[in-house]
């Protein structure tokens, strides 16, 4: 206790002796002075002793090889500056390497550039195949940009999607084979996914090779029945009308067929059909047996999940069988932690069926062998399995919901060992064979440090300590982000953090600025470095605000009961908790309870809109960026997962939609939206304005032409944060 008090006194003394260096908005969003260094993601090579990185020591990029055990640079494998295509109708200029994949034998590289973003995860680009020894360049296809190109397991082919059809190119003969032929924009998709699967099942690539390369499993989406949404983009004489299929809550989804193409037989077969009005196929994955494909089928309410196996040594009704079924009285969320062991007899399954997200070892008949992890804490990511040692490597929030650690554990659930070394949040990237891992660690007040370790946890070397950023931060008087818990009147403990001004005076009264998200399973109270957002909060603290964030009920890593209690009535418990938090901070002796404001983006914008209406007696000001204002306007998969169908839960959809509470507005309200938001449509803002005008309420609004849900590009973020900061200063 004395040590803590002493450090506070020293900090205050130093602050008093030196002039405060002001954080400028330009340093945040124009010159990005606080972005810190970025350790490029390593790609482990097959031997597990070496890895590569894409680095930009010039304008074109180069792929550099390193040794794990020493982090010694072993040379440059490929330089973009040396790659000059000679194909007809191509400019003879070097290729900028934007990404790369090795062939299975590591003799060839697939590189790409000219990336065009489609939606959140989907892109199209130009791909090239490079012979590493000769540096020979072969354009993958001359018929237009492609998406999701991948080597086949034997390296003899490269598959890709173009214009909603699936293809592969034979690298020996140079011939291009078209697998599907009915692809059509806003109608049929092969080898990729539709908008709502991409956004809410977090995927884009919609095909996968079997282990021996003999088969390709792929999605076929029929969007015919899905209603079309459109938005205009401006800048030309006539605006461009953008149309795409977007199923809103309760509306028709795509019908989906899982197809499998047999390379030798040169034909596709239909494995499984689901009607969009009733079911989904959110995942499929080949087992280690190339004759057996796993399929996950889910009902529309997302409270029943089946794991199915399609065995291609069988035909007809015997081909596809359900081996495991999981149900919930609320919902089940899809994850990517399904792992099939090389022994062909077992797999790892991830589920919160017992109340907390954990790993289970299952046999191929769907019977549980044993529970691997257990306790009142949750696993968060599976890194892989060292089957020789019988160990799995994973990330978890085992200490509390604000932390993340890296662990190993035996498949029988024994000998769980923490591999991360610092308090805060950690993530790992393992080498092939799991001999080494690269560990990234940070906490709320400390930038990310990257270190290299052997699999038993021994540190080999510090790879990146963000020294330059740490030294730069030392030139500013920053308030420490402090973590705490708040107990509500309903006897619920909520995690929270607070940043006080560096020159905090307990005898003064300070305004409080809430930054919230609050959506299902998503936390803002994390003990992790948040970079530029953290520095914006420090800028506000420099201007005399206490900045806080509170994780309400429904947020993650605190068990199923805490997360699922918002089911069927999104916004109700969450806003109650934020109001309780406002009461708590308002009762602190150094807080002006009449000057509490709130900001949120997306679900957070939905929350801030409810706080300034339903919580009008406790919040003076709110900023809502790209908010959902009625759940009837949001997409089917997300909304129905947490709310059920609107036809069966009308009150749940309407009781906590901001457009239905505008009459309660008292304080200052700033509504911001991008006009080209494909996710939370600008329609939400338009109807909120309509409701506010009808209620004769004063408010402020701003729209960003042609900007999507992220509202970025050029000077946009600088303009946005300047506007929001000025609004806070003027109204809070």
Cα dihedral value 705, 706, 710, 711, nearest 10: -30
Structure tokens at 163: 């214009």
Q: Which residues contact 453 (CB under 8 A, 6 or more apart)?
A: 419, 436, 437, 438, 439, 459, 460
Quote the tokens at residue 178: 């078209």
If you write DSSP's letter for every residue of 174-243 in order, what string do you get? --EEE-----BTTTEEESB--HHHHHHTT--B-EEE-TTSSEEEEEEEE-TTSPEEEEEE-SSSS-EEEE
Q: Length of the chain, please?
A: 732
Helix (H, G, I), strand (E, B) or coil at 80: helix
Task: Put the strands of the sheet holding 510-516 in their side by side order.
Answer: 481-487, 493-499, 546-551, 510-516, 591-601, 621-625, 668-674, 700-704
Q: How far is CA 16 from the centre of its chain?
A: 42
Place of tokens 């070397």: 461
Residues with catalytic roles: 602, 677, 709
Spell 572-607 as b/e; 16+ CB within 10 A means b: bbbbbbbbbbbbbbeeeeebbbebbbbbbbbbbbbb
Structure tokens at 153: 């397991």
* Structure-block tokens of residue 421: 């070394």
Chain centre to alpha carbon of residue 304: 24
> Please, what is the Cα angle at 106 between 104 and 108, to 5 degrees?
100
Token reading at 472: 């730069």
Pairwise CA distance, residues 422 & 107, whole Å: 39
């Amino acid at each position: 206790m004395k040590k803590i008090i002493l450090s506070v006194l020293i900090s205050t003394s130093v602050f008093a002796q030196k002039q405060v260096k002001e954080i400028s908005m330009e340093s945040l969003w124009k010159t990005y002075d606080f972005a810190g260094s970025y350790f490029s993601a390593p790609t482990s090579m097959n031997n597990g002793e070496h890895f590569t990185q894409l680095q930009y020591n010039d304008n074109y990029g180069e792929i550099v090889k390193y040794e794990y055990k020493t982090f010694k640079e072993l040379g440059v494998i490929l330089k973009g500056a040396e790659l000059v295509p000679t194909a007809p109708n191509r400019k003879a200029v070097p290729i900028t390497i934007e990404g790369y994949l090795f062939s299975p034998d590591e003799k060839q590289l697939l590189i790409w550039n000219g990336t065009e973003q489609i939606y959140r995860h989907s892109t199209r680009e130009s791909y090239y195949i490079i012979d590493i020894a000769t540096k020979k360049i072969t354009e993958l296809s001359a018929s237009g940009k492609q998406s999701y190109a991948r080597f086949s397991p034997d390296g003899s082919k490269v598959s890709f999607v173009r214009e909603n059809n699936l293809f592969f190119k034979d690298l020996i003969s140079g011939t291009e084979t078209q697998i599907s032929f009915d692809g059509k924009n806003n109608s049929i998709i092969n080898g990729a996914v539709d908008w709502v699967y991409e956004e809410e099942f977090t995927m884009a690539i919609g095909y996968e090779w079997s282990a021996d390369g003999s088969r390709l499993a792929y999605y076929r989406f029929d969007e015919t029945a899905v209603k079309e949404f459109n938005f205009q983009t401006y800048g030309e004489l006539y605006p461009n009308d953008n149309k795409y299929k977007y199923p809103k809550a309760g509306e028709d989804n795509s019908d989906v067929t899982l197809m499998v193409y047999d390379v030798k037989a040169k034909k596709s077969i239909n494995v499984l059909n689901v009607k969009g009005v009733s079911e989904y196929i959110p995942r499929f994955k080949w087992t280690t047996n190339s004759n057996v494909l796993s399929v996950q089928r889910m009902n529309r309410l997302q409270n029943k999940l089946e794991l199915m196996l399609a065995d291609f040594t069988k035909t007809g009704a015997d081909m596809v069988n359900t081996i495991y079924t999981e149900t919930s009285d609320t919902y089940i969320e899809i994850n990517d932690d399904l792992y099939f062991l090389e022994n062909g007899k077992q797999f790892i399954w991830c589920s919160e069926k017992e109340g907390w997200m954990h790993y289970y070892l299952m046999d191929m008949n769907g019977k549980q062998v044993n529970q691997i992890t257990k306790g009142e804490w949750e696993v968060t990511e599976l890194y892989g399995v060292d089957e020789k040692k019988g160990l799995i490597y994973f990330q978890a929030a085992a200490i509390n919901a604000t932390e993340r650690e890296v662990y190993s554990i035996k498949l029988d659930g024994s000998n769980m060992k923490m591999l991360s070394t610092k308090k805060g949040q950690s993530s790992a990237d393992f080498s092939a064979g799991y001999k080494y891992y690269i560990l990234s660690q940070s906490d709320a007040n400390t930038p990310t440090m990257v270190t290299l370790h052997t699999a038993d946890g021994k540190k080999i070397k510090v790879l990146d300590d963000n020294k330059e950023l740490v030294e730069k931060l030392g030139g500013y008087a920053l308030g420490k982000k402090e973590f705490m818990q708040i107990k509500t009147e309903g006897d619920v403990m909520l995690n929270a953090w607070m940043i006080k001004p560096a020159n905090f005076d307990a005898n003064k009264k300070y305004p409080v600025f809430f930054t919230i998200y609050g959506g299902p399973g998503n936390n803002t109270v994390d003990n992790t470095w948040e970079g530029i957002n953290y520095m914006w909060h420090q800028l506000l603290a420099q201007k005399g605000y206490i900045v806080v964030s509170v994780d309400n009920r429904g947020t993650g890593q605190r068990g199923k009961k805490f997360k699922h209690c918002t089911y069927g009535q999104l916004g109700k418990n969450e806003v109650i908790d934020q109001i309780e938090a406002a009461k708590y901070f308002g009762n602190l002796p150094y807080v002006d309870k009449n000057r509490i404001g709130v900001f949120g983006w997306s679900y957070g914008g939905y929350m801030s809109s409810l706080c300034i209406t339903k919580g009008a007696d406790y919040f003076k000001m709110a900023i809502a960026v790209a908010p959902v204002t009625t759940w009837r306007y949001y997409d089917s998969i997300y909304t129905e997962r947490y709310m059920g169908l609107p036809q069966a839960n009308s009150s749940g959809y309407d009781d906590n939609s901001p457009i239905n509470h505008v009459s309660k507005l008292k304080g200052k309200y700033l509504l911001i939206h991008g006009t080209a938001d494909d996710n939370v449509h600008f329609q939400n803002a338009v109807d909120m304005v309509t409701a506010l005008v009808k209620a004769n309420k004063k408010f402020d609004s701003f729209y960003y032409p042609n900007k999507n849900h992220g509202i970025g590009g050029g000077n946009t973020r600088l303009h946005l944060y300047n506007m929001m900061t000025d609004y806070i200063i003027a109204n809070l």
